[in-house]
Amino acid sequence: MKKEYLNSILESTKSVIDMVCQEDIKKGAPYIKNNPYSMNDISVNIGITGELKGQFVLSLTEDAVKYIASQMMGGMEISDIEMGKSAIGELSNMIMGNAGTKLSELNKTIDITPPMIIEGKVSISNPHQTISLPFKTKNNMELEVNISIVEV
């Protein structure tokens, strides 16, 4: 996976979350995930097609979903997990839309699939290398971005 592609998605993740949620999320150290890998309580999976193919998976705990959704609503407390899942799906869509723009600047055109919300502690197997990057919000809520991309 080319570093430029990975960085486009990671920069989009940070900038979109910081802007939409009035956050300053902190990046952790990236690492390679071994197959199969497990996810948190709620994950959003977006497929990547076009000149690149792969997937983007945002993984969070239920508390982190509610917190991020609350931040997206200007601080209004969100206790309904269904509303939180919808918000996280839309946030992931925004991240990958922004990443698509950044990738087009590298002369790579992508399309993305609609976000798929996955609930429960599940394992994902991927035929391609997955790079994971943890983030923390200002109140130490954790979220993790998992990216797998190959050139077609």
Domains and CATH numbers, the chain: 3-151 (3.40.1550.10)
- pTM of the prediction? 0.94
Question: Average pLDDT of 1-26?
Answer: 95
The number of CA neighbours under 13 Å toward the Cβ of 140 is 0
Model confidence at 59: pLDDT above 90 = yes
Give me the helices (H) in 32-80, please.
62-72
In which band, very low, low, confident or very high, does the pLDDT at 134 lie, cut at 50, 70 and 90? Answer: very high
Higher pLDDT, 28 or 124: 28
Model confidence at 37: pLDDT above 90 = no
Higher pLDDT, 42 or 36: 42
Tell me the pLDDT of the chain averaged across its residues. Answer: 94
pLDDT of residue 70: 96
Strands 116-119 and 42-50, how do they pair? antiparallel
